[in-house]
Amino acid sequence: MKGGGRVAADSLSVAYGGRTVLRDVSLTLPEGRVTALIGPSGCGKTSFLSCFNRMTDLIPGCRVTGRATLDGDDIFAPGTDVVALRRRVGMIFQQPNPFPLSIRRNLELPLRELGVRKRAELDEIVETVLAGVGLWDEVKDRLERPAQALSGGQQQRLCVARALALEPEVLLCDEPCSALDPISSGVVEDLIAGLRGRYTVVIVTHNLAQARRIADHAAFFWLRDGCGRLIEDAPAERLFAEPRDELTAAYVRGARG
Amino acid sequence: MPGSETVRFAGGRGDRWLAAIVWLAAAAVTAGFLWILGDLVRHGAGRLSLGFLVEAPRSAGRAGGIGPILVSTAWILAVSLATALPLGLGTAVLLAEMSAVESRFALWVRRSLDVLAGVPSIVFGLFGNALFCVALGLGFSILSGGLTLACMVLPILIRATEEGFRAVPRDIRLAAAALAMSRSRTLFQVLLPAAAPGLVVGVVLGFGRAIAETAALIFTSGYVDRMPTSVYDSGRALSIHIYDLAINVPGGEGNAYATALVLVAILLCTNSAAAFLGERWLRRGYRTV
């Protein structure tokens, strides 16, 4: 089993229509580990995340400068195969976003795109990934039912299963639990924590307790002079216990108290 | 359902007047429709029979049935929808999915569609006559009529379909992109099923406009009330038959009523079928197999 891709940013900046929202971020994300991006809203965490699968391409007027790399290759180099990139780097969104199709179709469509056509093979992958997110027993009898009839937490787990079906190396999670009720949130959180070792996971979260529970590494972003900056990154335990920067200390403490 | 009762107007005389006026307006609209329907049934129902639907008209339509006219109408509609559907779907996809909302090209396409939608149908008739009958040499034929109707139906079809695509949440497109899905697969297998209700609405509206059209067909598909043998034959549509019986044929009123009743029945059937289908679709989460 592979241990996840190596992801890094070097002097990465993101601007929308000329307004810089993230400036000069250099950060290496440990392979096969869970990295949490924390910090207040609007400090560029999601923009940072979106660089690594080039979802930034879909935002009109978005400009990325600096380098973002996957296993040493520049993600924004001209001629990069974006489809191939997105196969290696999966993404989970804040709002669960299953297709308005059946549960089975949700999982099969991306696989068919990948060239998996045999019925038996598709069935096997569907069962494996659904079991992997603990959904198989809940939905095995209703795979033909609309995915949007599932609960929010089930939908999010389906989205995780759908992303994992492509066997990515990196999984980007943009506040994957924030739209869910506490119980579903806990289930999805455990699921993401369980990906450690197999995938490189990056998770944006506003829930510091969650970051503390699941992150191996943590990076703290803050808004300075109107644009997002990386203030400090360190192994999660260290960052929370003895932050070096005063801003980090205040944020971590403030959110605790 | 609790909590869904209508909020009642309370208090003042002004409010009661307002309530009375709105109720009256709604009642007048409904009554108008029922009156027309009742009139058609009263005058036309007596002549309706299976024979009426299959027989050829006799004595300029005073007697006999509307068999060939139904067939011609079906042919004309088939030609127009078969032409308008691919063109309309393609344009709607271009407008909704392939071009930025504010791009100059999309703006021009939309503007010309709005103009097209507002053009009186008699103008379409003249245009169709000049282009299809004369310039392209198709003469008075079902083909000319169908193509003219296609031009008329396109704006309606495109707008409804475009709205259908726009109603699909952006989340879904982001999900497909993040899953490394190609544009064409996303379009055909995710967005199209989700936009299908819009497409159905467009087809029904277009069908309704086309089947009720008279002016655009007079100069294009013509009057001939014989059974058509191909799309190059002239064929008389239902609406033209009604017009002809009512205006040009003394003593044709009875069959005009019966034909109008058939026309309205077809319209009611297609509309309810579309509403039923649309609702089923929505409830099943646009499931496709």
The 10s digit of each residue's pLDDT in A230-240 is 999 999 999 99
Please name the residue of chain A whose CA is at the shortest distance from the CA of residue B99. A60
State the CATH number of the domain containing residue A238. 3.40.50.300
The answer on pLDDT for B47 being more than 80 is yes
A53 chain-B contacts, CB cut-off 8 A: 178
B172 chain-A contacts, CB cut-off 8 A: 97, 99-100
CA distance A23 to chain B (A): 24
A168 chain-B contacts, CB cut-off 8 A: none
The 10s digit of each residue's pLDDT in B246-262 is 999 898 889 999 999 99
B181 chain-A contacts, CB cut-off 8 A: 109-110, 113
**Is A99 within 8 Å of B190 when comparing Cβ atoms?**
yes
Where is average pLDDT lowest: A40-49, A116-125, B96-105?
Answer: B96-105
* Residue among B168, B173, B181 minimizing CB distance to A113: B181
Question: Residue B101: its pLDDT value, please?
Answer: 63
Strands B63-64, B57-58: pairing is antiparallel
The 10s digit of each residue's pLDDT in A172-181 is 999 999 989 9
Question: Residue B103: its pLDDT value, please?
Answer: 80
CA distance B105 to chain A (A): 17
Tell whether B102 lies on the interface with A, counting CB pairs under 8 A.
no
The phi, psi pair for A14, rounded to 5°, reads -130, 135
Counting residues of chain B whose pLDDT is more than 70, the rounded percentage is 91
Please, are residues A91 and A163 in contact by the beta-carbon 8 Å criterion?
Answer: yes
For chain A, what is the domain count? 1
Mean pLDDT of chain B: 87
Q: How far apart are the first and last CA of chain A?
A: 41
Question: Residue B288: its pLDDT value, please?
Answer: 38
Interface probe, candidates A70, A88, A101, chain B, greatest B C-beta count within 10 A: A101
In a domain, A83, yes or no: yes
Question: Residue A127: its pLDDT value, please?
Answer: 95
Burial code (b: 16+ CB inside 10 Å, e: under 16) for A212-227 equals bebbbbbbbbbeeeeb
Mean pLDDT of chain A: 91
B288 chain-A contacts, CB cut-off 8 A: 101, 105
* Residue among A84, A87, A109 minimizing CB distance to B189: A109
* Residue among B178, B181, B288 minimizing CB distance to A53: B178
The 10s digit of each residue's pLDDT in B199-210 is 888 888 889 889
Query: What's the domain range around A192?
Result: 7-98+169-256
ipTM above 0.95, yes or no: no
In a domain, A154, yes or no: no
Structure tokens at B254: 């009875």
In a domain, A238, yes or no: yes
Question: Residue A229: its pLDDT value, please?
Answer: 93
> What is residue B47's DSSP assignment?
G
CA distance A170 to chain B (A): 12
**Is B176 within 8 Å of A58 when comparing Cβ atoms?**
no
Query: For A47-56, what is the mean pLDDT?
Result: 94
Please name the residue of chain B whose CA is at the shortest distance from the CA of residue A150. B285
In a domain, A85, yes or no: yes
* Residue among B171, B284, B286 minimizing CB distance to A93: B171
In a domain, A111, yes or no: no
Q: Rounded to whole angstroms, how far apart are CA atoms B84 and B87? A: 5
**Is A110 within 8 Å of B179 when comparing Cβ atoms?**
yes
In a domain, A103, yes or no: no
Question: Residue B3: its pLDDT value, please?
Answer: 47
Query: For B14-30, what is the mean pLDDT?
Result: 92
Task: Please identify among residues 203-242 of chain B the ones whose CB lies closer than 8 Å to any CB of chain A.
Answer: none
Tell whether B98 lies on the interface with A, counting CB pairs under 8 A.
no
Please name the residue of chain A whose CA is at the shortest distance from the CA of residue B282. A100
**Is A109 within 8 Å of B185 when comparing Cβ atoms?**
yes
CA angle B54, B138, B119 (to 5 degrees): 85
Burial label, A72 (beta-carbon count in 10 A; 0-12, 13-18, 19+): exposed
In a domain, A158, yes or no: no
B168 chain-A contacts, CB cut-off 8 A: 100
Contacts of A160 (CB under 8 A, 6+ apart): A92, A133, A171, A176, A188, A191, A192
* Residue among B168, B171, B180 minimizing CB distance to A110: B180
Please, are residues A24 and A190 in contact by the beta-carbon 8 Å criterion?
Answer: no
A176 chain-B contacts, CB cut-off 8 A: none
The answer on pLDDT for A163 being more than 80 is yes
CA distance A140 to chain B (A): 17
In a domain, A25, yes or no: yes
Q: Which DSSP string corresponds to A102-120?
A: BHHHHHHHHHHHHT---HH
Please name the residue of chain B whose CA is at the shortest distance from the CA of residue A53. B178
Amino acid at A27: L
